[in-house]
Amino acid sequence: GGFLCHISKMSEKAQMSSEIFDRQVVKIHRDRAARGLSEFEFLLCEVADMVADRLSDIRRSFPVALDVGCHTGQIAALLAGRGGIETLLQCDLSEQMARRTSGLKIVADEEYLPIGDGVLDLVVSCLSLHWVNDLPGALIQLRRALKEDGLFLAAFFGGETLKELRQSLIAAESEITGGAGPRVSPYADVRDGGALLQRAGFALPVADTDVLTVSYESPLKLMRDLRGMGEQMATHTRQKSFTRRSIMLRAAEIYQEMFGDSDGRVPATFE
């Protein structure tokens, strides 16, 4: 069994131009994706497995752990019996995501975590922190929540993610309208990861990169999967109306022309 505790503190400066992501829209996307996520969670499960394997390489116990941005519990299922974890608290911005996990859970914004200082042995995060506006600030909160010898282990999308889709959308919109705006959310450069960890006060920081290339039957199937994962565009500068159908169809054609293989399938890069 478990219980759900709802703690929410939305940023008062949510509309400031200095913020990249509209956190309310991120929440809406995740709420919508929660019910059907099991159909689109393959990438989450793949990366969660990589994170769990990293934890298994460390020969010590982590009795009290926090999963930040837990989605519907993908990493929790893999951590069972690993790392000496006795208590795992799961946290997500989306109440609909959190409700679909088992065990202890809270609904809270990663930018305003309701966790005391020095109480956690382990913090894990799988494909959620790339939606945080103040990543250094969030990392500082997590470092403070950890005990002195605690471990932070996270994976988030890096700058090369969806480079094929980005190029195709820019080309299509430029061709049809004569200009192009951002259509794919920006991602942090993983090369800056170590510096971010040092800035947040972590000791012995390590940052590395894995690139996963997923084969799709068509670009439109990729776009559908991104929506199913709750990974649509959510920046303040995004176009507020629906993208014109002609742009989406032309982008799919360009994607196929530029990146398609002899079988008609297309690759999608996730860093």
- Rounded-to-integer distance, Cα 83 and Cα 155, Å: 18
Worst-scoring range by mean pLDDT, 4-13, 74-83, 153-162, 163-172? 4-13
For residues 83 and 75, what is the distance between their CA atoms, to the nearest angstrom? 13
Q: What pLDDT score was predicted for residue 238?
A: 53
Per-residue pLDDT band at 72 (split at 50, 70, 90): very high
In this prediction, residue 234 has a pLDDT band, given cuts at 50, 70 and 90, of: confident
pLDDT tens for residues 185-212? 677 777 778 888 989 999 999 888 999 9
Of the pLDDT bands very low, low, confident and very high (cuts 50, 70, 90), residue 236 is confident
Answer for the pair 37, 71: CB distance below 8 angstroms, yes or no. yes
DSSP states of 59-97 = -S--SEEEEES-TTTHHHHHHTTSTT-SEEEEEES-HHH
Q: Where does the chain have alpha helices with state H?
A: 23-34, 42-56, 74-79, 95-99, 135-145, 163-177, 193-199, 219-229, 245-259
CA–CA dist 16, 72 (Å, integer): 30
